[in-house]
């Protein structure tokens, strides 16, 4: 099952309790009973499937050795765009896992999304990005993704920079081999206010300081130019918008996992 954080009503999940390592389970494919794995040579329970032997042939010959099974431990920290909202029935992480598994192997994700949260602004359950990073980063993580947040629009530049610095530094200390992918906030219109517009520059500086990859959705125009991607509240993405986010973020995650070396 997908490792989401405990439910707190109709709007999704909070991060009140840490997920112990033994509870991190791989997302299961209902059609075959296997964890999310893209290789055709992985069968039920992750066992390699041997190639058939020709009639009369020697079973000990011409059978390729199975490729090693790789499990990618991934943590995603975000706000309501990651957690989901009443404007959508799906979330971008749930849409990403099957296609990501097809490229990188078994995916073992933990999703720590909390509505109204940011690096500085506490969410509906009272936690910030950095606090959830402290609770959920695992030394086995290959990739940690931070996504957001427009909720920090009212934070001062210095406080936001300090909070982001602490979140990234603590993540690297807890999972030295993990790649860090930092995605800035999304604006749902082409002309975001000054408080929102300054966030990407602050996050970029702090992300690059720890060797993370930084992506600026505002500069790239994510969701800002197509109102059909936004729900009736004019703030949160609808199902089409969540699909759009998955199409943007999935390749970024795949590239991070396929790039050698830490970062």
By annotation, the residues acting in catalysis are 80, 233, 236
Which residue carries 């936001």 as its tokens?
160
Count Cβ atoms within 10 A of the Cβ of residue 30 and give its class: 0-12 exposed, 13-18 middle, 19 or more buried: exposed
Distance CA 181, CA 178 (A): 10
Tokens of 219: 């500069």
Nearest-angstrom CA–CA distance, 217 and 141: 24
Please state, in angstroms and as integers, the Cα–Cα distance from residue 262 to each residue in 138, 251, 257, following that order: 15, 18, 10
Q: Of the candidates 203, 196, 247, 233, which has an alpha carbon nearest to the alpha carbon of residue 218?
A: 196
CA–CA gap between residue 21 and residue 1 (Å, rounded): 14
Coil vs helix vs strand at 101: helix
Nearest to 228 by CA among 216, 215, 243: 243
> Measured between alpha carbons, how far is 203 from 209 in angstroms, rounded to an integer?
10
């Amino acid at each position: 099952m997908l490792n989401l954080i405990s439910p707190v009503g109709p709007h999704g999940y909070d991060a009140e309790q840490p997920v112990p390592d033994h509870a991190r389970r791989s997302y299961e494919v209902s059609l075959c009973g296997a964890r999310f794995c893209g290789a055709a040579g992985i069968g039920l329970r992750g066992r390699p499937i041997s190639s058939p032997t020709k009639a009369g042939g020697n079973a000990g010959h011409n059978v390729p050795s199975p490729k090693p099974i790789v499990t990618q431990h991934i943590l995603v920290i975000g706000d309501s765009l990651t957690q989901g909202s009443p404007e959508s029935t799906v979330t971008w992480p749930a849409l990403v896992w099957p296609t990501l598994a097809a490229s990188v192997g078994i995916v073992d994700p933990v999703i720590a999304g909390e509505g109204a949260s940011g690096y500085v602004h506490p969410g509906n359950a009272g936690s910030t990005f950095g606090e959830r990073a402290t609770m959920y980063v695992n030394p086995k993580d290959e990739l940690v993704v931070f996504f957001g947040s427009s909720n920090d629009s009212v934070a001062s530049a210095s406080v936001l920079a300090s909070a982001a610095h602490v979140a990234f530094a603590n993540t690297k200390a807890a999972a030295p081999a993990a790649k860090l992918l930092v995605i800035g906030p999304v604006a749902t219109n082409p002309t975001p206010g000054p408080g929102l517009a300054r966030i990407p520059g602050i996050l970029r500086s702090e992300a690059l300081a720890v060797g993370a990859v930084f992506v600026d959705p505002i500069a790239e125009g994510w969701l800002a130019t197509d109102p059909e991607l936004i729900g009736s509240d004019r703030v949160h993405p609808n199902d089409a918008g969540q699909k759009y986010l998955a199409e943007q973020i999935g390749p970024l995650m795949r590239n991070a996992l396929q790039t050698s070396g830490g970062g």
